[in-house]
Amino acid sequence: MQTTGHPRVLKNLLPRHKRKTPPSLQDDIPFGRTQTDHMLICDFIPQKGGWQTPEIVPYAPFDVSPDSVVFHYGQEVFEGMKAYRDTQESGQILLFRPEQNAKRFANSALRLGMQPVPDDLFLRCVHELVMTEHDWILPNPGSLYIRPTLIGMDTGVSYRASLSYRFFIIVSPAKNYYKRETGVSVFIEREHVRAVPGGCGEAKCGGNYAAALPALQRARAAGAEQVLWLDGLKRTYVEEVGAMNIMFVYGNTIRTPALTGSILPGVTRSSIIQLARDLGYTVEETRLDISDVIRDIRNGSLSEVFGCGTAAVISPVIELVDGSERIEVNGSLIGSVSMALKKALIDLQFGRGADPHGWRVPVVAQ
């Protein structure tokens, strides 16, 4: 049945005695490895009128034909977002700016020639699945990681865009991305590039991440945890770090690469920019030459570098690895600006204090 307006969500849930016991903060929970009891599936089938009724079903593999478009022509996009348990007495479940994830999900789909999921359908499905799996939301500092995904389902290996799609969401309990507050070492990638102007760098698609894996392997061989990507034309200007946006602290000024079409428009990025301005910092979205960055680290005018994204929130960068050279940032110490911004963002996400921008969204049955 085609969905219209605010679609209902069907639920085919496991009986209570067959459900797993959700983990606690004391358990070892590798990020993204532990899935909950249920997932959501919603198909787009043109012959049946478009988007079908979403259904929450037991988490399990589903059938995808070996000649599906997703495997051969890479029509796949995804999102990353979280649900939080309010630290106040209400115990309310909160999402953080979910409408931004819905918008980016649709834009990513359009960039890959896919049928975008309507915002109301996306948000309804997220709310319903989170509400269904609310027992799996770890308390502060834990959360529930949400992974909406869209794949092309047409069969046959002729080159074309799929007409039919599967939208699905899986969720998993998440502790801190890093086991302790620590800075990361970052490898400057000067050979490969992540994206080019006019490409799909601003889309959140699996192909971007697959192409980045060889550089990540080189980074780890060099003793670094992440890759610092430079622009695709001159390999001069800083773009992203790992799967995160990146920021540089110059006294009371924070500089970050401008969105040029080859950089993912991070929800955490835009939130940090606004919070920094709220706290009195000047934020500049600009071009940053890697040679200038290195010079400014050495002369002390650049005091902090940090990546920001959904999974880790903020990751301080304490070292750059440039070939055989290792360049310490801030004496390899975690800076106060990045930690102040991280605290401000986490406080908002967990319901502490005022929400002047209306970013917190309570999860309710739809």
At 5-57, the pLDDT tens digits run: 556 899 999 999 999 999 999 999 999 999 999 999 999 999 999 999 999 99
Neighbouring residues of 50: CB distance < 8 A, sequence distance ≥ 6: 2, 3, 44
Neighbouring residues of 59: CB distance < 8 A, sequence distance ≥ 6: 35, 36, 37, 38, 39, 170
Domain annotation covers residue 1: no
For residue 90, the model assigns a pLDDT of: 73
Domain annotation covers residue 319: yes
**Domain check: are 23 and 109 in the same one?**
yes
Of 116, 144, 174, the last residue of a domain is 174
Give me the residues paired with residue 321 across strands: 187, 326
For residue 103, the model assigns a pLDDT of: 98
Domain annotation covers residue 330: yes
**Domain check: are 101 and 244 in the same one?**
no
Q: Are 343 and 349 in contact (CB under 8 A)?
A: no
The average confidence (pLDDT) of the chain is 95
**Domain check: are 190 and 339 in the same one?**
yes
**Domain check: are 164 and 240 in the same one?**
no
Domain annotation covers residue 239: yes
For residue 2, the model assigns a pLDDT of: 45
For residue range 134-187, what is the model confidence (pLDDT) as tens digits? 999 999 999 999 999 999 999 999 999 999 999 999 999 999 776 566 899 999
**Domain check: are 36 and 167 in the same one?**
yes
**Domain check: are 163 and 246 in the same one?**
no
Q: Is 41 exposed, middle or buried (0-12, 13-18, 19+ CB in 10 A)?
A: middle
**Domain check: are 191 and 166 in the same one?**
no
**Domain check: are 29 and 105 in the same one?**
yes
Spatial distance between the Cα atoms of 335 and 339, rounded to a whole number of angstroms: 7
Spatial distance between the Cα atoms of 239 and 232, rounded to a whole number of angstroms: 9
- Residues 234-259, mean pLDDT to the nearest whole number: 97
The CB-side HSE value for 150 (13 A sphere, CA atoms) comes to 30
**Domain check: are 213 and 241 in the same one?**
yes
Domain annotation covers residue 157: yes
For residue 364, the model assigns a pLDDT of: 82
Of 174, 197, 232, the last residue of a domain is 174
**Domain check: are 169 and 191 in the same one?**
no
pTM (2 d.p.): 0.95
Instruction: Report whether pLDDT(286) > 70.
Output: yes
CA angle 244, 217, 80 (to 5 degrees): 30
CATH of residue 224: 3.20.10.10
For residue 366, the model assigns a pLDDT of: 57
Domain annotation covers residue 218: yes
| Number of domains the chain contains | 2
**Domain check: are 203 and 146 in the same one?**
no
**Domain check: are 161 and 221 in the same one?**
no
Neighbouring residues of 343: CB distance < 8 A, sequence distance ≥ 6: none
Q: Cα torsion at 293, 296, 301, 307 (round to 10°)?
A: 30
Q: Which domain holds residue 137?
A: 10-174
CATH of residue 168: 3.30.470.10
Of 115, 143, 174, the last residue of a domain is 174
